[in-house]
Amino acid sequence: MKVNRRNFLSLSGYTVLFSQFPSYSWSQINNNKILILIELQGANDGLNTVIPYNQDFYYNLRPTIGIQKGKILTIDNENGLHYSLKNLANLFEKGELKIVQNLGYPHPVLSHFRSIDIWETGGDGKSQNRNGWLVKSLEKYAKKIRLDAKAIFLDNSNSIFRGGHDGYLGPNALGLEPEEIEVRDTVVPVDDRKNFGLLNDLIKKRQSSNQSLNKFVHKLKKNKKVFEFSGLRNKGGQLAVQLSNVCNMISAGINIPVFKTALGSFDTHNNQEITHRRLLQNLDVSISLTVNALKKLGVWDDTIIMTYSEFGRRARENGSRGTDHGMAAPHFLIGGSINGGITGEYDDLSKLWNNNINFKIDYRSLYEFILRQHFNIKSNPFSKFQNKLLI
C-alpha cells in the first residue's frame, strides 16, 4: 500500500474525529500504555535470528544456511543476533530489548492457521479459546481509561481481536487499504471484515459535519510530527508503512492502547538466506524508526513492542537450503521500561527431539507479563502463567 501525504492527512482527519473535539495528547492521559504487536507471519526461523554461535552443532545442523561467526552480532558469550539486526543489537546494549528464548506451548501444532489461532486466543495445543487473548482484558481496561478505541489492526488479519465488538477496528475504518501480507491458510476461511467496530459508526455519523472535518485537516496540516517510514532508502517495507501510521495516530492524540501489525513471509522452506535477511532487515529498520518516533513523542517509556509468530522452524536445514516447520522460537519485548537481557537458554543442539527445539517458556507468560506489568491488570486470564524471569 502506498501512503502519500494526502492519504495520511485523510487518515488523520478521521482519527482526530474519534477524540471528541478538542483533541488531547497522550501526555494528558493518566496511566496510559501502548502495546504494538508485530506478527512475523509464516513462522520466523529463530535459530538464525538469535544464534547460539558457541554451539558447534549449530553449524553441523546448518552447513549451508548457518550464519558465519564473523558476521554475527555477538550480544553475550553464547548468543548473537543475525547481522541484519544492528539496530536491535543497539537496543539490547541499552537494556531496552528483552529476548525470550524457547517460547512455545504444550502439544505443539505445526499447521500455520491452527497454530496462529492458538497463539492469538491463548490456547494450549489441544484447544483454543473462543476470543482473542486481549479482548477480555481490554474490556476491563476500557472501564478505567478514556479510550478512542480498544485496538486496531493494520495488516490483513483481525483474528487476534476475535470476539471484540465495540471499539475494535481495521484499516478501512480509517480510510486505508489493509496491508496484504501472507495468506495464512487458503483452505480455512478468514474473517475479512475491515470496516467494523464502534468507531466506524462514529465516522459515518460525523461525516455530515464537513466544517468540523476541515478544521481537523487544517490542524493536521500544521502538525510537524508527521512520520513517514516508507521508501526504498530505509528498506522498512510493508511493516514500516504500518508502523508509521501507528506513530501518526499517536502523534495526533488518538488514544488506542493496542496496535497490531504484521510482516511476512517467513515460511522459508526454500533458499532461506536471502529472504530471511531481507525480512529481518525490514523488521530491524522498521522497529528502529518506530522507537525513534516514540521517543520524540515522549511515550517510549509507556510502550512495549512485542513480536510473535505461529511457531519456529526445525533446527536442521532441509535439502532445499531452507527450514521446515518447527516448535519453539525466541521473541522480542522492546520498550523504554523493559528490563533487557536474555531469558532462557537454547537446548543442547546435539540432543534435539526430531530436529526440534523444545519449548521451555510458555508463550502465555508473555501475555501475563504484559497484562499485569504493563496494563496493571493483576487479575487476568493468564495469571497462572506468571513467570518471574520476565520481570
* pLDDT score, position 237: 81
Q: What is the mean pLDDT of the chain?
A: 82
Residue 235: per-residue pLDDT:
64
pLDDT in tens, 163-220: 987 888 787 655 666 665 554 543 333 444 444 444 444 444 444 333 433 433 444 4
Mind listing the pLDDT tens digit for each residue in 96-115? 999 999 999 999 999 999 99
- Give pLDDT tens digits for 333-369: 999 999 999 998 877 898 898 899 989 999 999 999 9
Across the range 121-150, mean pLDDT stands at 90
pLDDT tens-digit map of 53-96: 999 999 999 999 999 999 999 999 999 999 999 999 999 999 99
Say what percent of the chain tops pLDDT 70.
76
- From the list 247, 262, 281, the residue with the least C-alpha distance to 83 is 281
The pTM assigned to this predicted structure is: 0.84
316-333 average pLDDT score: 96
| The residue to which cell 544464534 is assigned | 51
147 pLDDT above the threshold of 60: yes
> CA dist 369 to 33, 89, 101, 306, 376, Å?
14, 23, 15, 11, 9
Task: Tell whether the model's pLDDT for residue 16 goes beyond 50.
Answer: no
Checking if the pLDDT of 289 tops 50, the result is yes
Specify the pairing of strand 303-308 against strand 258-263: unpaired
Q: Per-residue pLDDT for 233 more than 60?
A: no
Q: Could you report the per-residue pLDDT of 36-54, keeping only the tens digit for each? A: 999 999 999 999 999 999 9
> Per-residue pLDDT averaged across 130-149, rounded?
91
